[in-house]
């Protein structure tokens, strides 16, 4: 005889108990915790992999559609802009409807858009599908750490963030190599087709396992969502235009359009108890310093990642097939160090761990800047590994510090700001490299590395300045 099914009241009571336990920082019980974590890891991997493989496949896709470089670049830019413009609005939706709803909807949308990429018959159709894919990726990225915060116990949160950083590093390392190998044997459409079964599996895992979260009672602020998307999108495109030496009036027009959007957004945020632009969190010194540190560190990373291929190939005269391998010590070192740093951040001040890591990153960037003709592979690899060691030691503790400073019910806003800070820093770094290469030629590659040294040093000082500000919540 089968046991009686629990009543609807019992199910609802159990659901509320789990939600309260997650909100109190106790996390989910096993084995549900492991399935939820698997969902988070696979979803994050999909979003990161898709960004890296599209970069590698861009020339092949452009040739397939007989498109120029300027038009085909929107396959990448459309995806990135869709993410950066919608992170904060989707994080706000997560606080209202629940983080699991936004996360699962993001995965589902990403999967459907991958079908659109596979079936695209023109560059315009592929670009449109990539923009929708970016919206899906933003749904995952906007609440990723918020979901993780409700999944694991507070005392293990730092280690969990470290494993997240490990996943990003591994996906960033594997993505270009996978894309290069796949393009040698299959059509480019298979790079997007692989997302479809993985996306379906992830939704299947996530529906029964992802945690519920406390829901906010306020309505979604549509005017702030539009202003946020416009302001942040125009900030990114203005930085990009400045770096690529577009006509001054084109850049000025974007800046002039951005200013009123940002002013009205701040005004609305000041009058809201739970603003979409989280001024309430930015008033917390530890949170603001973590955001500033993140922007500066990711600007450093992109200064290196964009400048180094030019330095390795055109100055040091290494063949293209070796350049990809020469870039690998950095993310591999991050993959090794990040989980350890995350675990250490559960016991030691993230401000110190981050400051030491960023100091090592600054040393590594300076060492790369002094590379000259005749540098051997070991000379290059230890410098790259030092940068990765420093970046890995910084990233997880800094993310932990950002969330420790934010109240539990504002985890969505904190998660959105984390993604926005990362993408803003990356946009600044990429634009500065483009500007320096345009103004100084190949000498600008070394200059970009020294500029990155300055950013990393500033970030290290900022990280250490967090020491007086409070204890983890």
What's the rounded mean pLDDT across residues 47-53?
A: 80
| Window from 86-90, 241-245, 446-450 with minimum mean pLDDT | 241-245
**How many Cβ atoms sit within 10 Å of the Cβ of residue 76?**
17
Task: Give burial (CB, 10 Å; 0-12/13-18/19+) of 432.
Answer: buried
Q: Which residue has the higher pLDDT, 25 or 287?
A: 287
What's the rounded mean pLDDT across residues 185-192?
A: 89
pLDDT at 11: 46
Band of pLDDT at residue 472, cut at 50, 70 and 90: very low
| 276-473 carries CATH number 3.40.1190.20 | no
What distance, in Å, lies between the first and last C-alpha atoms of the chain?
A: 48
- 29-209: what CATH class? mainly alpha
Examine the pLDDT at 81 and tell me if it is beyond 60.
yes
Cα 389 from Cα 381, distance rounded (Å): 12
pLDDT at 473: 43
pTM of the predicted protein model: 0.80
Highest mean pLDDT among 8-17, 284-293, 343-352: 284-293
Q: Which residue has the higher pLDDT, 180 or 393?
A: 393
What's the rounded mean pLDDT across residues 359-376?
A: 91
Ordered by start, the domain boundaries in the chain are: 29-209, 222-271, 276-473
Query: Furthest-apart CA pair in the chain: how many Å?
Result: 81
Instruction: Write down the mean pLDDT value for the chain.
Output: 85
* Residue 149 per-residue DSSP state: H
Percent of the chain clearing pLDDT 90 (strictly above): 39
HSE of 445, CA atoms in CB hemisphere, 13 A? 18
What's the rounded mean pLDDT across residues 423-434?
A: 83
Percent of the chain clearing pLDDT 70 (strictly above): 92
Alpha-carbon distances, residue 113 vs 82, 154, 197, 218 (angstroms): 13, 35, 13, 31
Cα 167 from Cα 48, distance rounded (Å): 9
């Amino acid at each position: 005889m089968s046991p009686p099914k629990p009543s609807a009241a019992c199910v609802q009571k159990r659901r509320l108990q789990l939600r309260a336990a997650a909100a109190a920082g106790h996390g989910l019980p096993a084995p549900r915790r492991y399935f939820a974590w698997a969902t988070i890891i696979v979803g994050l991997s999909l979003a990161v992999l898709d960004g890296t493989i599209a970069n590698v496949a861009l020339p092949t896709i452009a040739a397939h559609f007989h498109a120029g470089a300027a038009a085909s670049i929107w396959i990448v830019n459309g995806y990135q802009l869709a993410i950066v413009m919608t992170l904060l609005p989707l994080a706000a939706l997560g606080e209202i409807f629940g983080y699991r709803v936004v996360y699962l909807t993001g995965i589902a949308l990403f999967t459907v858009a991958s079908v659109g990429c596979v079936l695209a018959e023109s560059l315009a159709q592929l670009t449109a599908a990539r923009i929708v894919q970016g919206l899906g990726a933003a749904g995952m990225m906007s609440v990723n750490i918020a979901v993780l915060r409700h999944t694991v116990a507070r005392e293990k949160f730092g280690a969990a963030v470290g494993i997240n950083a490990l996943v990003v590093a591994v996906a960033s390392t594997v993505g270009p190599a996978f894309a290069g190998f796949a393009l040698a044997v299959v059509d480019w459409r298979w790079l997007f087709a692989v997302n479809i079964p993985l996306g379906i599996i992830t939704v299947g895992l996530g529906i029964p396992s992802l945690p519920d979260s406390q829901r906010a009672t306020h309505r979604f602020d549509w005017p702030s969502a539009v202003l946020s998307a416009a302001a942040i999108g125009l900030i990114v495109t203005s930085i990009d235009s400045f770096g690529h030496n577009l006509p001054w009036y084109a850049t000025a027009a974007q800046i002039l359009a951005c200013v009123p959007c940002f002013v009205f957004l701040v005004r609305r945020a000041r009058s809201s108890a739970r603003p979409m632009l989280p001024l309430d969190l930015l008033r917390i010194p530890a949170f603001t310093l973590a955001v500033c540190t993140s922007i500066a560190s990711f600007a450093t990373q992109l200064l290196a990642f964009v400048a180094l291929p030019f330095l390795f190939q055109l100055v040091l005269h290494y063949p293209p097939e070796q350049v990809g391998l020469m870039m690998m010590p950095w993310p591999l070192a991050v993959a090794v160090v990040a989980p350890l740093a995350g675990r250490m951040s559960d016991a030691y001040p993230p401000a110190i761990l981050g400051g030491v890591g960023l100091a090592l990153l600054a040393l590594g960037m300076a060492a790369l800047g002094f590379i000259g003709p005749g540098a051997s592979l070991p000379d290059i690899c230890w410098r790259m590994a030092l940068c990765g060691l420093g970046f890995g030691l910084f990233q997880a503790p800094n993310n932990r510090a950002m969330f420790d400073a934010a109240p539990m019910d504002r985890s969505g806003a904190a998660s959105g700001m984390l993604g926005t800070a990362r993408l803003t820093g990356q946009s600044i770094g990429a634009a500065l490299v483009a500007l320096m290469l345009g103004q100084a030629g190949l000498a600008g590659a070394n200059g970009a590395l020294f500029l990155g040294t300055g950013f990393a040093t500033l970030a290290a000082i900022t990280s250490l300045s967090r020491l007086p500000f409070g204890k983890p919540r």
